[in-house]
Amino acid sequence: MVGDTLSSVAVIGGALVMWRWQWYIVDPILSILICVLILIWSWRLLRDSVLVLMEAAPRHIDIELVRRELVRGVPGIHDVHDIHVWEITSGMYALTAHVRVDDIPVSATMAIRTQTAALLDDRFDITHAILQFECQR
């Protein structure tokens, strides 16, 4: 929307320049500049859309750092492996992972899951996590 507003302001400004000083070259110059800006914005949108559709891992999330933070930051987690992170939609991230814990009841894993979800949301903006718990052998 900001780009559309700036384009409209440029067109109005160009019209005023052409009306006041008869510098008609302003029209094609502004047209080319606006076209270049639209191409840049379109390319970024297309690139981001393809990455979301391909369920690509976000560039800013380091999987190894996620693993270390979970092992270090959540009591009861001994290891995390088979981690997959992807972008569901712009700015919304999901994670699946296998989490190795002690041989505990399933109900005890709920506290670990809650702490894990909070850590993932706070540190990495991952708001949707599916965890498969495995017992330590």
Structural domain boundaries in the chain:
2-53, 63-135
pLDDT of residue 3: 74
User: Is residue 21 scored above 80 in pLDDT?
Assistant: yes
Calculate mean pLDDT across residues 49-53. Answer: 83
Question: Over the stretch 56-85, which tens digit does the pLDDT of each residue have?
Answer: 888 899 999 999 999 999 999 999 999 999
User: Is residue 91 scored above 70 in pLDDT?
Assistant: yes
Rounded Cα gap, residues 92 and 95, in angstroms: 11
**Residue 104 CA to its chain's centroid (Å):** 35
Rounded Cα gap, residues 118 and 13, in angstroms: 50
**CB crowding 104-127: b at 16 or more within 10 Å, else e:** eeeeebeebeebbbebbeeebebe
Please identify which residue in the block is written with the tokens 């110059």: 29
User: Is residue 137 scored above 70 in pLDDT?
Assistant: no
In words, the CATH class of domain 63-135 is alpha beta
pTM: 0.69
